[in-house]
Structure 1
Amino acid sequence: MALIERQEELSCLERLIAGAALGEGKIALVSGPSAMGKSALLDALAERAIDVGALAITATASRMEQGLQLGVLRQLIQDAPLVPAERERAERLLEEGRRSAGERAGSELLLEEQVVHALITVLLEQSERYPLVILVDDVHHADRASLICLAYMARRVRGAKAVTVFAHNDGYAHDDLFGTDVLRLPHCRRLRLAPLSRRGVAALMAGRVGLGAVDRFIDEWYKLSGGNPLLAAALAEDHRGRLRTADAPPSELVVGEQFDQAVRECLRRAHPRTAQVAQGLAILGTREGLEELLGLPGFDVGRELDAMAAIGLLGSGTFRHEAVRSAVLAGTELGRRRELYRGAAELAYTRGLPPCVVADLLLHATGIDASWVVPTLEEAAMIALREGRVEEGISYLKLAWRQCADESRRAEIMTMLVRAQWRLNPAAPAGHLDLLAEAMTNGSLRGSDAIVLARALLWHGRFDEAREVLDRLISEMDAADHETRAELLVTQLWLRATHPPLVARTRYPRKADVLAGMVSGAVSRRMESTLALAEVVTRGPRESSLSTVERILESTHLDEMSMDVVENSLLALTYAGRCGLAAPLCDQFSAEASARQAPSRQARLAAIRAEIAIRQGDLPAAERHARTALETIPMSSWGVAIGGPLASMINALTAMGRHDAVREYLDRPVPKAMFQTRYGLHYLHARGRHNLAAESFTLAIHDFLRCGDLMTTWGLDNPSMIPWRADAGEACLRVGQAEEAMDLIEAHLAACDHAAHRARGIGLRLRAAGAEPQRRPALLRQATEYLQLAGDKYELARALSDLAEAYDALGDGRRSRTIAGRALAAAEECQATPMISALSRATEADDVPAPLPAPLPGALIDALSEAERRVAALAAAGYANHEIADKLYITVSTVEQHLTRTYRKLHITGRADLPLIQEFGNRP
């Protein structure tokens, strides 16, 4: 194979052979960084020697054979075409020399001069027959006895028809005889091989991967290889390997196993100190500190860094590619690597480098018995978790737990570990709960850390064990610090809203007592958000509490302590009917959870977002978010909280008429313990809604009443959270139990407070279903107003559909068609297929179906005055002029004037062309 960019050196050596044929013996010393093609050059010279009638004898020294005295010289003699007598004589001399070297080990005079002279004479006598070319590769690895002989031969070769060529790597010349005797000889010629140029690398690659790939990747190949032929050839092999396995040519640079092996081979061929410095650099990542880490003088370190740069491994003082660093580390023996990491960790700590830098080194080091190790790992873990590097934080905490000898401290670290693992998957820390329970028993776990254990046990449905933990904490409450007392109060409120059966009758701290002391901002936020949620689900929303959680959400980030605050606050707003505010906040926190690599938090927020979407009537969004929640972490990891996302999925699919898909989710097993939680209430209600839609009325009534019994027993009987009476009343109406139905519906309406717009709208729609035909339109118009305020598009579509039927029953076809068109538009927006089908059939039954008014530009609606908007919204809902006048306390004439101006501003001809009433309500 033709040599690339080595023709000048090869021609020079060929001229030396030509001169040797004339009796001009020469020496050539070929040097350069490792893997620069010196061996290939010697191989090519051996072939040329044969072509011109010269005799080439070769030897290759090896680091592994340096202890074998005269090993290199033996190779040369064995390769020489000696006659039997000469060979026998040479073998005797080699044995004599080996014995002499053994006897004189450590002496300057390692071999007898007569033996050296006789051995070299055997070789040089061959030049009397034909020109002789003696080639010794990797001479820097030759044993000392052979080096003595080769140096002697270098002096003798001048008067013979012989050329002696020695190849050695840079970095060794100062250690061997060639740095002293040989280079001073007048007949010595020195040749140094430089890295290939960009053109040379292109030529090498073209012969292996083709010109097309060269045109695309040459700049990257040249930069990464540094002109080293071995590295460049390895990159070509990696590229070809990808071509063999891929469907299309690689679109990016391929750096694979061949390149890794080439890097290790370069270091294997280099000076041992070069590999040592490479290993240190791979550990530290920077030149700073290498002297201390390796125990080498700065001059030596600098020289080896220069050697690595010459080889092509470094560029601008750092490894050219992460693959180079990885290959260096992989080629370092494990024990040596761990010791280097240990030294680097100690050095980094001494230098005051950031905790995460020190912790990363500690992860790979042998154990360090120092007081600073565990605190450094804990600090690094907190930083990593705060920055969203969850897996790194977990690794630090695991090592800190293993390194820590204090049992109380170990329990605290394990609690931090449980919190961190929870971000990725709530099932991950389940294996640690027994260890924490044991620490609780022996007194090593206490305070807020014990509350973390209780919450984790509750998530996994281990209620009895959680109760034991909480009972023990409460029994020790008088001796507890103020933060622990505050956390106990937060836990009581949270249990009240989420696990009502577990609210112990024992004495929890009073809120007044807790607030009388100082608590941290984090605890204060948890207290306020949990209190708001507990108030909403037990007594209904309180304006002051909701204002507080709004403020909290606007200033809280998803750090390692705030997920409960975010979750409780969002749910409080959601159950209070403030979904329009909760939705964008939930989206904001979901994006943050995704950026922080917190799948568990992503899933929990997706579950909340699905619940919000259900209450907004956005069925496709509810399905999408519920699916995200169920797929981001496995269902088995959800514990008792699985009822939340499952309920949203079942509700969404039911309303969209996808009953086969619903059954798939209903068939999935759920924990029995779930039905002792708020999540179980949502699941029962959703299952009841599905049974109602599937006309399994008895099952539906059973689910609704069971849900209601639990809510009543637990003190959570709030129709804004779950309107179980309204749904049970609808099921009773469907089976003809009118009296029972109306009792349930009236009880539902009586339980609605003034802010429960969604619940009141649902109740009024059902009250209309049981009322006289003449009363139904008025009740349904009221229902649409409340549902418009609530922002629930699906329930609004149901109310509009019922209103269209009510007008049709009274013979008011014009109003019926107008309202039916609006109901159909709303149902299509929700993708509520059953309602769409029913409304489509109703509108198609008419000879001339009423066209749906198209949404109007916002600028037109903005042109309306506040009074005109109120009148237009009521007119669009189907109210007559005198009803609008009574409702707004104005005259009929004023209503007519407002409508006339509205038609003119909106460029429409009458109330049948009024846009959907949402457009009025959504304007500022």
Structure 2
Amino acid sequence: MDTDAPDTLLERRDELAALRAALAQARAGRGGVTIVEAPAGLGKTSLLRAAAELAVADGFTCLRARATVLERDFAYGCVRQLLEPTVARAAEERRAALFTGAAGQAAPLFAPVAGGETASAVGGDAAMLHGLYWLLADLAEEGPLALLVDDAHWADSDSLRFLAYLAPRLDGLALAVVLGSRPGEGDTVELARLAAAPEATTVRPRPLSEAATATLCERRLGGPVAPAFAAACREATGGNPFYVEALLRETAEAGLPAGGDGAARVARLGPSVVAQAVLLRLSEQPPAATALVRALAVLGDGAAVGEAAQLAELGEQDAANAADLLVALGLLQAAPRLEFAHPIVREAVYADIGASARAVAHARAAAVLAERGAADERIAAQVAAAEPAGDAARVALLLRVADDALARGAPAAAGAWLRRALAEPPREPQRTEVLLGLGLAEHRVGAPAAVEHLAAASATLNEPAQLATAVRQLANALTVAGEADRAVAALTSAIEVIEPQDRELALLLEAELASHALQASPAAAAPVRRRLERLAVLDGGTARERLVLASVAFQRARAADSADAAAALLEGVLRGGLLDAPGLDMVGPFYDVVIGLLATDALDLVAEQLERALADAHVRATIPATAYLTGRRGWVALRRGDVSRAEADGRTAVELLRGHGIGLGLPFATALLVQALVEGGELEQARRASDAAGALADGDPAAGIPPGLTSNFLLEARASLLLASRRPEEALAALREFGRRDELWGGANPLASRWRARAALALTALGERDEAVALAAEDLERARRWGAASGIGTALRALALAGDGGEAAPRLREAVAALERAPARLEHARALVDLGAALRRGNQRAQARTALEQGVALAARLGARELAERGRTELRAAGGRSSDPHGHGVEQLTAAERRVAELAAGGRSNPEIAQELFVTRKTVETHLGHVYRKLDVAGRGDLAALLTEPG
């Protein structure tokens, strides 16, 4: 069947139509994934070959790969098969062009550095996924592209992970992905995830009918066959084309008639005829043929004749003659290197060797390949299939291959090699090295076993750099798992070992310890605060001293009496060169300082520092740092009241973290997105974003949110969502729990928290006005002691709304006056709208209209759609004319459209915008199309003036 052209394939009209449709859609820029799924022998390879012929005829460039059992742990093995020919053939100038921009992040895959860096940050391999996507996107820009992977059920996990990453980004690309796969075999979890993607279509070829079987019989036997003979062939093989072919070959060689007598003989056979026929045919051949084909079954497809000859203990000429004979028998393909005619043939030969003999043969194959200078990956694949023997040389080999996999951004492959190394088993010090590498690889893919292996490695390490690497990743894994107390203990123990040997490295761990302690219990955090104060004498002469001093400043800011005092402490460390310190990809003091400044109203400096850090993160192409910094920038925007920008940054941060499997920081980013969506009146979207971080349990909004500095933000966001959703009782419960936690894990100072003002609004909605007034009054007294104008204005507004109507307007005027001095423009807009409503109720309609017009205009400009609409309703009631509810000018733009428009106005090209925002070109084009239509402009040249117009 594999030699049939598309127009001669039997009963594959629907399948070919699906492939043609997939190619047509890809050519039109609507790429997708097509999975041809069927049991062995049913024609997957024929359909993939047909897809390639159709694609070439339509002007596509075809990149092809075939997965094999022995290569399933190769680092991006299938991706390299697909792309290495293109890269290898490219001249130096062309190669440089291929890896420009974001695609450059994929360059290490094709020219890895020996002894790869194993201390990559959390999600460090995300850059490889991003780079590979842009490499393919750029190739597809040059002309339509088809990726074809046969036997994908044996593909390596990293390649499958990339295909799953690629699938939702195919829209807008002239790129078709076609996979052939057997159901229920290999890495079914990864394949199932890919098959379930909305962009994937699964094609399932069916067995041949009796009529098609008769046609195939006539083709192969060269003449008509009796209906009974065709029926017997169909019955014996189940209509499997490959089995029919094998059966016909046997009947032809045996001289069976294609009539009734032959039918009776055929009826006694079945699918097992393939294995039986292969072995029977081999038994009738010279011993050299059997020895060679068994050697190839062990070595795997693609072996050189010389390699198979040495393993089979044959001379090369004898091996070449045997190979020619095996091709003539239909067991091997005619190809430059040795390759079975079909995986079923290889499986039959391999199974006949026997398990014990196979293990011995794999060990011998590893020695043969090593002697002949084969690549380490090929040798390691043979070692992995051999019986463990406690061989230190094998462990060293597996460590090298795993390091190389990590350098290629393939942690899943690295983990597989290191698990095999652990089974060898290694002795010390190799065992510790294996445990460390395995823990790092598992942490990068989010495997729970990372904690166990990193802890075991840390317990035996004494070398400072290795111990620091292990314990930092262990601490991250523990904190993400909600076990920050254990993270604190691990870091504390490591510092005791490292400090006498490497003071600077110990200081880095002290800074990390301070950050993790913010997520730990008060009992675990208290000793960390005490040890930090002892380090306050440092002079900040080195980058790591400045990291520690930042933690000291943050701790002191939490104990400060006023916002000015806290801001002075925190701004001092920022101005002192904190950004020169290492480790921004990790949880660290820089991020703590940013959080602290959110409560002080001193947002200008932190915004400037965040932009500087983001520029550096883009240059270094580090996705975790980009996500963390974008999220912090979004929180600054939200505190300023710029809802649209906060929503855009929140979406970017969440999509980057979730899309690249980075759990660290996700609750904080999710909290930003939920809050921004609530402020924008998008409650259903906010609910979905909140549920993605863990479904809201009935009666317990704090369920699933561990206590800690950054996770508390998610609890506060859920409270805002509940309050906006008119569920005040649940909102009040969430806010009280937030307040309890805030006293223990407050961001800059418990005085700076605004939870009481929101709780007062919830109590007011529940009719508990006396308690609401008391809580709002307490909040106002605290806010005045803290001194930040935004907190004072927020508390005054809550007190006005909780109290009786007669005092509302004067207090709201006072709130408006306070908020005019604050950067919190959304709170200012709220106070204006509430003041206008209070004045309207007091029949001061002219003054009401003035306040409402100002509040509506400000809310609309900030993207606070629900507040703007409430203000318009009040304005109409006060006798005013409300503006267009959809806004005008830039107010019409969504958060994402506004961000794209700003970058376009700044001179960025569509690919540059896509790379900076980590979205597809199609997404950028779509957003710009909406922007041009809403603003009624012809192109990007008109955007700058519109985006900077006042109001």
Aligned residue number for residue 769 of structure 2: 736
1:339 paired to 2:354: no
Match of 1:293 among 311, 324, 329: 311
CA distance in 1, matches of 2:295, 2:279: 15
- Aligned residue identity for 1:281: L
Specify whether residues 606 and 536 from structure 1 end up closer, same or farther in structure 2 by C-alpha distance, changes over 3 A only.
closer
**Residue in 2 that maps onto 1:176:** none
Residue matched to 2:675? 615
By how many angstroms is 1:676 displaced?
A: 5.3
Which range moved further: 681-690 or 393-402?
681-690
Contact 1:609–1:625, Cα closer than 8 Å, also in 2: no
Cα offset, 1:409, TM superposition: 3.8
2:416 is paired with a residue of what secondary structure?
Answer: helix
In structure 2, relative to structure 1, the CA distance for the partners of 1:836 and 1:272 (3 Å cut) is farther
Instruction: For 1:522 and 1:286, locate their aligned partners in 2 and report how far apart those are by CA, in whole Å.
Output: 50
Q: Which residue of 2 aligns with 1:515?
A: 543
Name the SS for the 2:314 alignment partner: coil
CA contact (8 A) 1:733 1:741 kept: no
CA distance, structure 1, for counterparts of residue 610 and residue 855 of structure 2: 37
Report the equivalent of 2:738: 707
Is 1:400 the counterpart of 2:458? The answer is no
**CA separation of 1:433 and 1:295: change in aligned 2, threshold 3 A:** same
By how many angstroms is 1:479 displaced?
Answer: 1.8
Instruction: Tell me how far apart the structure 1 counterparts of residues 291 and 797 of structure 2 sit (CA, whole Å).
Output: 81
Q: Deviations over 1:102-158 (max 9, x none)?
A: xxxxxxxxxxxxxxxxxxxxxxxxxxxxxxxxxxxxxxxxxxxxxxxxxxxxxxxxx
Structure 2: distance between partners of 1:397 and 1:800: 63
Is 1:554 the counterpart of 2:589? The answer is: no
Q: How does 1:587-598 map to 2 (within 5 A)?
A: none
1:356 pairs, out of 377, 389, 401, with: 377
Aligned to 1:525: 583
Query: Is residue 492 of structure 2 the alignment partner of residue 471 of structure 1?
Result: yes
CA–CA distance in 2 between the matches of 1:554 and 1:709? Answer: 39
**Inter-partner Cα distance in structure 1 for 2:222 and 2:865:** 62
Q: In the TM superposition, what whole-angstrom CA distance separates every residue of 1:316-335 from its partner, at most 9, and x where no partner exists?
A: 42334445444443443222
Deviates further, 681-690 or 274-283? 681-690
Structure 2 partner of 1:280: 295
Determine if contact 2:646/2:672 at 8 Å carries over to the other structure: yes
Structure 2 vs 1, CA of residues 825 and 715 (structure 1 numbering), >3 Å: closer, same or farther?
closer
Change (3 A) 1:591 1:403: farther
Match of 1:576 among 629, 636, 654: 636
The AA in structure 1 aligned to 2:618 is E
CA distance, structure 1, for counterparts of residue 869 and residue 890 of structure 2: 30
Instruction: State yes or no: 1:506 paired with 2:534.
Output: no
What is the DSSP-based 3-state SS (H/G/I as helix, E as strand, rest coil) of the residue aligned with 1:577?
helix
1:307 and 2:307 matched = no
1:454-465 to 2 correspondences below 5 Å: 454-462=475-483, 465=486
Query: Displacement of 1:535 after TM fit?
Result: 0.6
2:595 aligned residue (537, 550, 561): 537
- 2:699 is aligned with 1:683: no
Describe the shift of the 1:580–1:471 C-alpha distance in structure 2 as closer, same or farther (beyond 3 A).
same
Equivalent AA in structure 2 for residue 292 of structure 1: Q
Q: Specify which of 214, 229, 237 is matched with residue 249 of structure 2.
A: 229
The 1-side partners of 2:665 and 2:476 are apart by 18
Alpha carbons of structure 1 residues 277 and 377: separation in structure 2 relative to 1, 3 Å: same
> Aligned with 1:420: secondary structure?
helix
Structure 1 residue 622: deviation in Å?
3.9
Alpha-carbon distance in structure 2 between the residues aligned to 1:460 and 1:407: 29
Structure 2: how far apart are the matches of 1:307 and 1:330? 22
Q: Using the TM superposition, give the Cα deviation of residue 470 of structure 1 relative to its aligned residue in structure 2, in angstroms.
A: 3.1
Q: For 1:728-807, list aligned pairs within 5 A.
A: 728-731=759-762, 733-734=764-765, 735-737=768-770, 738=773, 740-745=775-780, 747-748=782-783, 751=786, 766=798, 769=801, 772=807, 774=809, 802=834, 805-806=837-838
Distance 2:949 2:279 in 1: 68
Q: How many residue pairs end up in the alignment?
A: 598
Shift of 1:744: 0.8
With 567-576 and 484-493 compared, the bigger mean Cα shift is at 567-576
Match of 2:707, SS state, is: helix
Q: Is the 8 A contact 1:415 1:452 kept in 2?
A: no
- The amino acid that maps onto 2:301 is G
Whole-Å Cα distance in 2 between the matches of residues 516 and 842 of structure 1?
A: 55
Q: Secondary structure at the match of 2:443?
A: helix
Check conservation: 1:822, 1:852, Cα contact below 8 A: no
Where structure 2 has 5 or more consecutive residues not aligned to the other structure, the ranges are 1-215, 254-269, 548-578, 894-933, 937-945
User: What letter is aligned with 1:524?
Assistant: P
Q: Give 2:698's aligned residue.
A: 663
After TM superposition, give the deviation of residue 379 of structure 1 in Å. 3.3
Q: Does 1:411 align with 2:447?
A: no
1:797-836 equivalence runs, <5 A: 802=834, 805-806=837-838, 808-811=840-843, 812=845, 815=849
Q: How does 1:411-430 map to 2 (within 5 A)?
A: 411-430=432-451
**What residue identity is the alignment partner of 1:736?**
R
Partner SS, residue 683 of structure 1? helix
Query: Mapping of 1:215-294 within 5 angstroms?
Result: 229=249, 267=282, 271-282=286-297, 283-288=299-304, 289-294=307-312
Distance 1:351 1:431 in 2: 38
Please identify the structure whose Cα radius of gyration is greater. Answer: 1
**Could you say which structure has the greater relative contact order, defined with CA pairs below 8 angstroms and 6 or more residues apart?**
2
Distance 1:684 1:262 in 2: 70
Q: Distance in 1 between matches of 2:875 and 2:672?
A: 31
**Mapped partners of 1:268, 1:361: distance in 2:** 26
Shift, 1:364, TM fit: 1.4
SS state of the match for residue 377, structure 2?
helix
TM-score normalised over the length of structure 1: 0.51
Over the residues paired in the alignment, what is the CA RMSD in angstroms?
Answer: 5.9
Native 8 Å contact 2:515 2:587 kept in 1: no
Q: Which of the numbers 698, 716, 735 marks the counterpart of 2:747?
A: 716
Structure 2 CA distance for partners of 1:708 and 1:359, relative to 1, 3 Å:
same
1:549-604 residue CA offsets vs partner (Å, 9 max, x unmatched): 3134313456xxx85x4565345334433787787677667777778xx64x2x55
Moved more, 222-231 or 399-408: 222-231
> 2:378 and 2:517 mapped to 1: Cα distance?
44
Partner SS for 1:524: coil
Using the TM superposition, give the Cα deviation of residue 419 of structure 1 relative to its aligned residue in structure 2, in angstroms.
Answer: 3.0
> In 2 relative to 1, CA 285–765 (structure 1 residues): closer, same or farther, beyond 3 Å?
farther
Give the CA deviation at 1:741.
0.8
Structure 1 counterpart of 2:324, one-letter code: D
Letter in 1 for 2:747: L
Deviations 1:3-34 (A, max 9, x none): xxxxxxxxxxxxxxxxxxxxxxxxxxxxxxxx
Deviations 1:613-632 (A, max 9, x none): 1232254444444444xxxx
